[in-house]
Amino acid sequence: MRKTMTNIRLHKFLAHCGVASRRHSEELISAGKIIVNNQCIREQGFLIDPQKDKVYYNGKLLKIPQEKVYFIVNKPKGYVCTNASYNEPRVIDLIKTHHRLYTIGRLDKDSEGLIIVTNDGELCQKVSHPSFQVPKTYFVVVRGYVDGPVFERIQKGIWLSEGKLSRSKIRIVKRDREQTTLLITLKEGKKREVRRIFARFSYPVKYLKRIQIGNLHLGNLRAGEYRQISCGELSDKLFPLDSSRESMVQEV
């Protein structure tokens, strides 16, 4: 059940908002620097309801910062990563919480695997933006036998409508006349990037699952399952120490 903070003392509310310490907040109140519902409040111990009352300091409306939470989810096929209210199942609906969440990056409806869900906009920017070069690894099955020259071209970076892609790393897991199974690691995260890369060479993707972001893995999460993760653990795993840009095709 979600807790509310009704009838909180004004100086405590100011401290929660990061205005000042509780003691200094009391001094601000005494000095007449705090406005509640268009009224200057100087009374110590004054009670407010943060859900209803509007509190201003230096003309700025104050709100208690939302607790930042982080989850990793094994997205099932058929789920969408949007927050819009479409008649389709959403990844954010898998998580039981009162926080307003959104996904970091996206996996298209037909793809599966690892996705981070949070309310931390700064982290979202760092993980999603190509300039931060966070590697993302996908397990992919494409129709047909993909030969070496195609892999070499992909690894060097091919052109899509948005421009040239950065170098990638590919590891071949298995291939025959019917299909090729591989792992591909990319660092940009453009829309439907993996599918578009192989479509460029007329190899349609049959199955796509993201298994790793940085050094963060799905672990034993089954499709539709999630677990909460600390900010510290994310920081340790999203930005790996390996800075090598060498790409290599490796048969196993």
Q: Beta strands of the chain (E only): which ranges?
A: 8-9, 34-36, 39-40, 47-48, 55-57, 60-61, 70-75, 102-104, 112-118, 136-143, 159-160, 163-164, 169-175, 179-186, 205-213, 216-217, 226-228
Cβ neighbours of residue 244 closer than 8 Å, sequence gap 6 or more: none
Rounded Cα gap, residues 139 and 207, in angstroms: 8
Annotated catalytic residue within 108, 147, 176, 236: 108
Other beta carbons within 10 Å of 29: 22
Q: Can 108 be counted among the known catalytic residues?
A: yes
Rounded Cα gap, residues 133 and 189, in angstroms: 9
The residues annotated as belonging to the active site are 108
